[in-house]
């Protein structure tokens, strides 16, 4: 049983997120998504449209996701990888190199981001449309 782990805010879930989750899941048999809490989003200077609970419900409905747990800070990755026995850590390549310290504990894979889509862009467009 190959276990994959990935991290993110996954706000206003879009096909770029799904493309990442699909490819991450395809690297193993079980995908754990560590979902940024609302408080941690503030640390990341991100405000999400949906709350943690709402983003969790949406992700849990995704066929590629097996478990959703909270991400509270930058420091929890080594513990998570060990606690959840992750064999592979996956992130989009906008993070390339940032998490290589995890190579001691598991395989680290950076996947190409899906171009031209991001939650911020979607939210801006919707805001303009409504105004």
Which residue from 3, 4, 5, 9 is in contact with ligand C2G, where contact means CB under 6 A?
A: 9
* Member of 25, 58, 89, 92 binding ligand C2G (CB under 6 A): 92
- Is 46 labeled as catalytic in the residue annotation? yes
- Please tell me whether residue 71 binds ligand C2G under the rule CB under 6 A: yes
Q: Looking at beta carbons only, is 2 or 112 nearer to ligand C2G? A: 112
Q: Please, which residue, 47 or 85, has the CB nearer to ligand C2G?
A: 47
Candidates 66, 113, 122, 123; binder of ligand C2G (CB under 6 A) is: 113
Alpha-carbon torsion, ordered 38, 46, 21, 109, to 10 deg: -110
Would you say 31 and 25 are in contact if contact means Cβ atoms under 8 Å apart?
Answer: yes
The residue annotated as part of the active site, out of 2, 42, 44, 121, is: 44
Residue 41 CA to residue 114 CA, distance in Å, equals 22
Q: Is 17 exposed, middle or buried (0-12, 13-18, 19+ CB in 10 A)?
A: buried
CA distance 45 to 83: 27
Q: Decide whether 46 or 123 has the Cβ nearer to ligand C2G.
A: 46
Annotated catalytic residues are: 44, 46
């Amino acid at each position: 049983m190959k276990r994959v782990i990935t991290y993110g805010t996954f706000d206003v879930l879009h096909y770029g997120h799904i493309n990442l989750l699909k490819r991450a899941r395809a690297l193993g048999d079980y995908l754990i998504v560590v979902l940024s809490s609302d408080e941690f989003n503030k640390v990341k200077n991100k405000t999400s449209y949906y709350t943690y609970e709402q983003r969790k419900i949406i992700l849990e409905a995704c066929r590629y996701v097996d478990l959703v747990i909270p991400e509270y800070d930058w420091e929890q990755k080594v513990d998570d990888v060990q606690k959840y026995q992750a064999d592979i850590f996956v992130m989009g390549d906008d993070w390339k190199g940032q998490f290589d310290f995890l190579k001691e504990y598991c395989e680290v894979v950076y996947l190409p981001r899906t171009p031209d889509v991001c939650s911020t862009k979607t939210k801006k467009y919707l805001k303009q449309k409504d105004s």
